[in-house]
Amino acid sequence: MKLINKELIDQTLKKAASSERLRTNFNLHDSPNDPVQRYLIATIKDSYFRPHRHPMNAEVAIVVRGEFDIIVFG
C-alpha cells in the first residue's frame, strides 16, 4: 500500500513545475511488469496530454486537487 499525502503531492507538483512538459508522475506500482500500472500524475496548468487510447486496457483518472478538461472520442 502506498500513502498519497499532501507532502507527496506537493513534491510531485514541484517536480512537474520544473519539467519541460509541465507534468511528471510518481509510480505507485512496484515494477513495469505489474499487471496494473498505477501512477500519481501531477500536472501544471497548460500541460497538454495529446489524444490517445488504450485499446486493451482502461484508464481511470481521479482528481485529487484542481481540475482538468477531457474530450472523449467515439
Domain that holds residue 30: 1-74
For the residues 26-51, what does the mean pLDDT come to? 91
- Per-residue model confidence (pLDDT) at position 7: 96
The CA distance from 43 to 66, in Å, is: 10
- Is the pTM here over 0.85, yes or no? no
pLDDT above 90 covers a percentage of the chain that reads: 51
Cell of 44: 501544471
Which segments within the chain are labelled E, that is strand? 23-27, 39-43
Shortest CA distance to 47 belongs to which of 67, 72, 22? Answer: 22
- pLDDT interval class at 13 (50, 70, 90): very high
For the chain, the domain total comes to 1
- Per-residue model confidence (pLDDT) at position 31: 92
Using CA atoms, how far residue 20 sits from 4, 65, 73, in Å, is 24, 21, 27
For the residues 28-43, what does the mean pLDDT come to? 91
